[in-house]
Amino acid sequence: MAHAQGQQHPIGVYLKIWGLLFILSTASYLVDYFHFQGYLRWSLIILFMFLKAGLIVAVFMHMIWERLALMYAILVPPLLLIVLLGIGAFEGNYTFLTRGTFFGTGSEVPVKHR
Amino acid sequence: MTQPAMTSSAESLPLAGGLQGVVADLSSDQRAFKNVPWGKAMMWIFLLSDTFIFSCFLISYMWVRISTTEPWPNPSEVFALTLWGHKIPLILIAIMTFVLISSSGTMAMAVKFGYEKNKKMTFVLLLITAALGATFVGMQAFEWTKLIVEEGVRPWSNPMGAPQFGATFFMITGFHGTHVSIGVIFLIIVAIKVLRGDLDHERPGFMTGRKGSYEIVEIMGLYWHFVDLVWVFIFAFFYLW
The dihedrals phi and psi of A37, each to the nearest 5 degrees, come to: -130, 165
B100 Cβ partners below 8 Å, 6+ apart? B132, B133, B136, B180, B227, B228, B231
In the predicted model, what is the mean pLDDT of residues A53-74?
93
Q: Is residue A110 part of a domain?
A: no
Q: Is residue B75 part of a domain?
A: yes
Contacts of B68 in chain A (CB under 8 A): 96
Q: Is residue A111 part of a domain?
A: no
Counting the structural domains of chain B, the total is: 1
- Distance in Å, alpha carbon of A39 to nearest chain B alpha carbon: 11
In this complex, the residue of A3, A68, A81 whose CB is nearest that of residue B21 is A68
- Cα B168 from Cα B105, distance rounded (Å): 29
Per-residue pLDDT of B80-130, as tens digits, reads 887 787 788 888 999 999 999 999 999 999 999 999 999 999 999 999 999
Is A12 within 8 Å of B84 (Cβ atoms)? no
Per-residue pLDDT of A5-41, as tens digits, reads 567 888 999 999 999 999 999 999 999 888 888 899 9
- Cα A20 from Cα B180, distance rounded (Å): 23
The whole-number pLDDT of residue B12 equals 58
Q: Is residue B28 part of a domain?
A: no
Helix B91-115 vs helix B119-145: crossing angle, to nearest 10: 160
Are A61 and A95 within one domain?
Answer: no
* Cα of B44 vs its chain's centroid, Å: 12
Collapsing DSSP to helix, strand or coil, A39 comes out as: helix
- Cα A101 from Cα B188, distance rounded (Å): 55
Subunit contact A57:B229, Cβ cutoff 8 A: yes
The dihedrals phi and psi of B159, each to the nearest 5 degrees, come to: -65, -15
Q: Is residue B15 part of a domain?
A: no
Are A72 and A57 within one domain?
Answer: no
Subunit contact A88:B55, Cβ cutoff 8 A: no
Subunit contact B66:A28, Cβ cutoff 8 A: no
Counting the structural domains of chain A, the total is: 2
Q: Which chain A residue is nearest to residue B26, measuring alpha carbons?
A: A69
Q: Is residue A91 part of a domain?
A: yes
Is the pLDDT at B193 greater than 50? The verdict is yes
Is B73 within 8 Å of B162 (Cβ atoms)? yes
Are A50 and A81 within one domain?
Answer: no
Are A2 and A49 within one domain?
Answer: yes
Are A79 and A29 within one domain?
Answer: no
The ipTM estimated for the assembled molecules is 0.87
What's the CATH code of the domain at B146? 1.20.120.80
Are A9 and A36 within one domain?
Answer: yes
Q: Is residue B130 part of a domain?
A: yes
Task: Round to the nearest angstrom and report the end-to-end CA distance of chain A.
Answer: 67
Are A45 and A90 within one domain?
Answer: no
Are A56 and A99 within one domain?
Answer: no
Subunit contact A70:B44, Cβ cutoff 8 A: yes
Are A48 and A96 within one domain?
Answer: no
Are A88 and A61 within one domain?
Answer: no
In this complex, the residue of B115, B236, B239 whose CB is nearest that of residue A7 is B115
The whole-number pLDDT of residue B161 equals 87
Q: Which domain holds residue B144?
A: 34-240
In this complex, the residue of B48, B115, B232 whose CB is nearest that of residue A8 is B115
Q: Which domain holds residue A25?
A: 1-66
